[in-house]
Chain A
Amino acid sequence: NAGVTQTPKFQVLKTGQSMTLQCAQDMNHEYMSWYRQDPGMGLRLIHYSVGAGITDQGEVPNGYNVSRSTTEDFPLRLLSAAPSQTSVYFCASSYFYRGLGGELFFGEGSRLTVL
């Protein structure tokens, strides 16, 4: 049972380059999300999706794009990488509990460095 799988685990980019962080889950979860983790700032929501074809912005969406063409996959695209996007990125998924929230299942993270 794989759970939430993120690739790559490590990536180094140059300023201005673009890339995609991949996220896949095999639990048939409706809800998927991307967080970034920075020292002293906890986890901040970038984008989330409540089902295929539905996405919305979180707290820090600028510089990132997402799409949700299938239930399983939720890729995060960096359009033009900046040093401020150096962070650890986590993908998380959950069943869609209306109104009350539910347990988030996290991937193991992708560490991105932008030079």
Chain B
Amino acid sequence: GENVEQHPSTLSVQEGDSAVIKCTYSDSASNYFPWYKQELGKGPQLIIDIRSNVGEKKDQRIAVTLNKTAKHFSLHITETQPEDSAVYFCAASISPGGTSYGKLTFGQGTILTVHP
């Protein structure tokens, strides 16, 4: 099955700095790559996603890049703010022939701390 590796496990930055979280996946059939943010005591929430026919996607201060050849994708947060502090998860989905829903495989998570 799919295997998703996420690094780093913890990341500490100063307010205003950029943060980058990287993930690699194992199955070249994966074609959907979402990122989820989990605040303390809550369930994860989708913040951005990218599909395999796109190399980069931006949404205000966050962006995701995808390199299908190398099988890795990254989350970039610019101008970080204390409210960005949370656990971030990457995920990958395998779509078997387009006939059924791909099961999301999650990375191990990154604890991001933004210091004021």
Q: How far is the CB of A93 from chain B (nearest CB, A)?
A: 11
Q: Do A101 and B34 have beta carbons less than 8 Å apart? A: yes
Does residue B24 face the partner (Cβ distance < 8 Å to A)?
no
Q: Do A99 and B100 have beta carbons less than 8 Å apart? A: yes
Q: Pick from A62-70, A72-80, A102-110 the stretch touching chain B.
A: A102-110
CB contact list, A84-115 vs B, under 8 A = 90, 92, 94, 96-101, 103-104, 106-109
Closest residue on chain B to residue A30 by CB atoms: B101
Q: With a CB–CB cut-off of 8 A, which chain B residues contact A58?
A: 103
Partner-A contacts on B (CB < 8 A): 1, 4, 6, 9, 31-32, 34, 36, 41-46, 49, 51, 89, 93, 95, 97-109
In the complex, besides A43-B44, A43-B106, A98-B99, 9 extra interface pairs with C-beta distance below 8 angstroms are A42-B108, A44-B106, A50-B101, A92-B43, A96-B101, A97-B101, A99-B97, A100-B31, A108-B43
